Structure 1
């Protein structure tokens, strides 16, 4: 049975893999038919092949994620975390303040990830 601790551990692994530029590690956390919305409300990215393409663009050595608060569990198969994402551009550093919500299957794989942020949640350094 999936536990709250399993969810929190998987979400921390997601952050760790991202910050180590470990694309394969990130993909190993996702179920084959997972759905990703980043940002939430945009066209869903469906399936591991499309998710690989998405992360292939952002796992690039120029982007890092930090938690703003502890990862939060739930009474179901989901968790949430408040993060900020910093990415270097040729002219500046962009900072996105994001809430990510992930849902998991019984084996602990991510079936859904939604990243909640809007234009007003982005700053330049």
Structure 2
């Protein structure tokens, strides 16, 4: 099981990848068979090619992430962070909490984004 330090560093690398406009760096944090549910309740994005495309599209339109507090670890293989998603191309901000689940190799195997209609500002 990955350590809290590893999981927190991975989530910081996720934020940093967005800040650098580096979709490949963000995608590299995920296992090949990972799943993204963004937002929770929508159909998941599954597998390497779909994950690569998901992050390339988000970063290509200028999406930026700003942490709203410290990244949180857990006693299990999960870590979470609260942040604001700024999407200038869509004149939109979303307040979200992402929960990432890790495999034993320290790769993200599931990303769940918690946000709903009331969490969107335009």
**Normalized against structure 1, the TM-score is what?**
0.93
> Structure 1 residue 23 and structure 2 residue 36: aligned?
no
Q: Matched residue pairs, number?
A: 122
Are 2:103 and 2:109, in contact at CA under 8 Å, matched by a contact in 1? yes
Match of 1:114 in 2: 112
What SS does the aligned partner of 1:106 have?
coil
Name the counterpart of 2:81: 81
Does 2:101 correspond to 1:103?
yes
Q: CA deviation at 1:17?
A: 0.5
Return the offset for 1:89.
2.5
Report the TM-score when normalising by structure 2: 0.95
> What does residue 48 of structure 1 align with?
48
Question: What RMSD over aligned residues (CA atoms) do the two structures have, in Å?
Answer: 1.2
Please give the secondary structure, in 2, of the residue aligned with 1:89: helix
Structure 1 alignment gaps of length 5 or more: none
Which 4+ runs in 1 deviate beyond 4 A? none
- CA deviation digits over 1:2-41, x for unaligned, max 9? 2111000000000000111101101110001000001111
